[in-house]
Chain A
Amino acid sequence: MKIYGVALLVFCFLIGKYLGGLLAELIGISGDVGGVGFAMLLLMFANGFLKRFSWYEVQTKAGVLFWSSMYIPVIVAMAATRNVHAAISGGWTALIAGVAVTLVGFMLVPLLSKIRTTKQESDGTI
């Protein structure tokens, strides 16, 4: 049943958001730190774990996949509700700062991508 997939997704989402809220509280800020990340990890582990059961069938997954395919439409709706006026009329300082930061970020991507976690042999020594 598709609803099982949706229910699983909501479960992971809420737990992740809760953990994100706890982490934020620990740091001392309002909101949520890494909630989406925690929820994603949970869903990945849950999916890996549940695969071995026969009742976790294609239709269950379809419940999750539907929402993942709604991702782009949601982003389009989000774009349509941005404060684009503010971005344009915020004056040169905001405009230059926003553009410069983004461009430098882009340029750093290929540099930092070179860092890879290599698997180290654990032979007891450091």
Chain B
Amino acid sequence: MELFKELISKNGLLFAFLLVGLILGASQLLSKHLFKGRIPAAAIAIIGALILALFGADKGLANIEIFAGLAVLGGSMFRDFTVVATAMGAEIEKIKQAGLAGILSLFIGVSFSFVIGVIIAYAMGYTDVKDLTAIGAGACTYIVGPITGTAIGASSDVIALGITAGVVKTIVTTILTPLVAKQIKLTTPHAAMVFGGLIGTTSGVTAGLAATDKELVPYGAFTATFYTGLGCLLCPSIFYYLLMQLLG
């Protein structure tokens, strides 16, 4: 057993490939036989992986020593690298065509997320402008939250709350996207770019689109990649200032 553990921890990344292969294989079987193809295998695998993450702690399954390699495979290096590779199948013309809608969706996406986050925080009893800003920024993405919170000097428990709101957003997006894609007409590259701009959480958007139709992934990722930057730009500056004026 010791030898096995040592072998795995020395080859963590490779073991992660094996694990993910097993998860996807099991999902393929479930998709085909249990769900009769109605739920795509990728969606089952992603939801299954989220459930497995419950067995760990802050890093999900990767908190368990032998599964630590999953954090490398699922880390931002591989995520960004493989998402760039998907651009091989994307067409520049389609990106140009959705350019204006994409830019608008980015601004609208960051603004409405912030506003809704602030309104809900206010309704839940938070009145301090710094607290409200940190939670509103967290509702954009879990990266915008802490960057904004730190920049304006919000307290650490409120920053943590903002991050949590962002994590909830990522997970809800991952699970719901394949289920509601048809209803919200998320079927074209054009709509995928708008979707990426509106939701903005790169991991949620790309995971949701991967489970819906993997042809759409590059388009959603393209706009989502600018969202966090825009959020970090607007939240601690203009939005914070406006909120301060409003609540004085």
Binding site for B on A (CB under 8 A): 9-10, 12-13, 16-17, 20, 23-24, 27, 29-37, 39-41, 43-45, 47-48, 61, 64-65, 67-68, 70-87, 90-110, 112-113, 115-117
Contacts and interface: CB of A to CB of B under 8 A. Distances in A.
Contacts of A27: 229, 232-233
Given A33-B226, A81-B71, A44 B87 contact: yes
B92 interface: yes
B97 A117 contact: yes
B242 interface: no
B191 A83 contact: no
A31 to B, nearest CB: 7
A67 B81 contact: yes
B105 interface: yes
Contacts of A70: 78, 82, 85
Contacts of B165: 90, 93-95, 97-98, 101
B206 to A, nearest CB: 7
B133 to A, nearest CB: 13
Contacts of B101: 112-113, 115-117
Given A108-B112, A109-B191, A83 B59 contact: yes
B194 A36 contact: no
What is the interface of chain B mostly: helix, strand, loop, or mixed?
helix
Given A13-B81, A77-B20, A83-B60, A71 B139 contact: no
Contacts of A75: 42, 46, 74, 79, 203, 206-207, 210
B186 to A, nearest CB: 6
28 contacts: A29-B147, A30-B147, A31-B147, A34-B229, A37-B223, A40-B84, A64-B85, A68-B89, A74-B82, A75-B210, A77-B70, A80-B61, A80-B70, A81-B70, A81-B75, A85-B57, A86-B163, A87-B167, A98-B172, A101-B116, A102-B168, A102-B199, A109-B184, A109-B194, A112-B108, A113-B190, A116-B100, A117-B96
Contacts, number: 328
Nearest to B16: A77
Nearest to A10: B81
Given A29-B233, A37-B225, A44 B92 contact: yes
Given A40-B83, A83-B59, 14 more contacts: A36-B222, A36-B225, A41-B87, A41-B92, A44-B88, A74-B74, A76-B45, A79-B50, A84-B51, A90-B160, A98-B169, A99-B169, A104-B116, A110-B191
Nearest to A32: B229
Majority secondary structure of chain A interface residues (helix, strand, loop or mixed): helix
B150 to A, nearest CB: 10
Contacts of B202: 36
B168 A94 contact: yes
Which of B21, B161, B202 has most chain A Cβ within 10 Å? B161
A9 B85 contact: yes
Interface in B173-211: 173-174, 176, 180, 184-186, 188, 190-191, 194-195, 197-199, 202-204, 206-207, 210
Contacts of A110: 184-185, 191
A109 B174 CA distance: 16
Contacts of B186: 109
Contacts of A90: 160-161, 164-165, 167-168
